[in-house]
Amino acid sequence: MLRCRVPMPAVVTLLLLQSAAVVLFLGWYSPLVPQEASPTQGKVHVLLLSSWRSGSSFLGQVFSQHPSVFYLMEPAWHVWMALKRPGARGLRMAVRDLVRSVFQCDLSVMDAYLPPSYNVSHVFMWSHSRALCSPPACPLTPRDSISHEPECKLRCDAVGLEKAERACHTYSHVVLKEVRFFELESLYPLLRDPSLDLRIIHLVRDPRAVLRSREQAVKALEQDSALVLEQNGPLPADAQMRVMREVCRSHVRIHETAARKTPDFLRGRYKLLRYEDLVRNPLGEIEAVYDFVGLEMVETLQEWIYRITHGKGKGTKKDAFKITSRNAEDVSLAWRTTLPFQKVKQIQDVCKGAMSLLGYRAVQSEAEQRQLDVDLTAGRERHHFTWLTSTSTEPGEG
């Protein structure tokens, strides 16, 4: 047998060359390999940021019913109900940390806020999440089908959140709807976090319509109102207007931060959406929102959106947190025929800064209020913003 003897210096040289090649290869290849700090499994994380009675439940369902979305409705409700004190401002960091964990599909964070040996049904409005009614969380609803909340509630309850957490990992988008952020600064750590690809959709609504809707759900909103006002004991007689003042101020702070004082890490990651525009042109606005977060419209959703926004229902106190088929544009104008003009004047004064900034025109008389063919929302070009570098001051709130 022939034997080939290689001199030792040549062996050393070959080993050195091989090591150098490996180092060079890894140096070239490593940027292509997902690192620990890269977005979790390539997911997109979407925060639907709004306030109570602003149409956010409907917008949430627009995402929840999408086959690529894992959606939860207001998980921070648990933080507020469990901790309560010291009020909205004091709880914002706990809310943010819970939101971060849920975005990362770590649902063990809920352990701190749920009773021992809890079921999925202990999660706030859990059956409004199509993902919790679909495999692998529940075999009831195929992912490409529209879920039905009453049936899901009956058939998809389970012990613990292991299946829900497993389901979360299988979706490209994690979407959370929240009404408990009153500024953007507390979200900065999430926007800077390289493991999150966070987009913020800021949904606003005419404060006059919000007030009218809140008056239909006073009891349901009682605890939240107390936390917003940091109020112990019975709420004052003017609680509704005081809460509306805080809500309107929050919309101003959020929009001004995003539009005029924009940190680099927020650019291109914030979108303002008015409820009135959404109900006037549902498919067009929803397609634009989907495009913003990297989702595609599907046929089943087109049909569902049309059906849910063109029904005959008007909405009642019993529908406070339900998505039912109704004429959405008629509902958005209901305040003009039902709210007393004195209250309209009061809310216009309380929220005049937000109304001006967001393109809602005040009425000067009861006759003008009742004249439904008079459009009180400025055109999109008047309230739409570009990325500005101005350091102009924030508009006041009356």
CATH of the domain at 297: 3.40.50.300
Residue 100 lies in a domain: yes
* pLDDT 10s digits, 154-194: 999 999 999 999 999 999 999 999 999 999 999 999 999 99
CA gap 117, 159 in Å, rounded:
7
pLDDT band at 84 (very low <50, low <70, confident <90, very high): confident
Residue 113 lies in a domain: no
> Where are any strands of DSSP class E within 216-331?
270-274
- What is the average pLDDT across 64-71? 98
Do residues 44 and 293 touch, judged by C-beta distance below 8 A? yes
- What is the average pLDDT across 102-121? 96
pLDDT for the residue numbered 388: 33
Residue 114, amino acid: L
pLDDT band at 331 (very low <50, low <70, confident <90, very high): confident
* pLDDT 10s digits, 255-295: 999 988 899 999 999 999 999 999 999 999 999 999 999 99
Picking from 274, 275, 293, 287, the residue whose alpha carbon sits closest to that of residue 385 is 274
* Share above pLDDT 70 across residues of the chain, in percent, rounded to a whole number: 80
Domains: count for the chain: 1
CA gap 328, 198 in Å, rounded:
29
pLDDT for the residue numbered 134: 98
Alpha carbon 347 to chain centroid, angstroms: 25
* pLDDT 10s digits, 39-56: 556 899 999 999 999 999
DSSP state of 391: -
- Does the pLDDT of residue 22 top 90, yes or no? no
- Does the pLDDT of residue 83 top 80, yes or no? yes
pLDDT band at 379 (very low <50, low <70, confident <90, very high): low
CA gap 367, 380 in Å, rounded:
26
Name which of 8-12, 76-80, 332-336 the model is least confident about.
8-12
pLDDT for the residue numbered 41: 61
Residue 117 lies in a domain: no
pLDDT band at 332 (very low <50, low <70, confident <90, very high): confident
Residue 64 lies in a domain: yes
Do residues 248 and 354 touch, judged by C-beta distance below 8 A? yes
Residue 15 lies in a domain: no
pLDDT band at 5 (very low <50, low <70, confident <90, very high): low
Residue 2 lies in a domain: no
Residue 162 lies in a domain: no
Joined tokens for residue 36: 């620990």
Residue 163 lies in a domain: no
Domain that holds residue 95: 40-105+169-383
pLDDT for the residue numbered 223: 92
Q: What is the pLDDT of the chain when averaged over all its residues?
A: 85
Do residues 187 and 47 touch, judged by C-beta distance below 8 A? yes
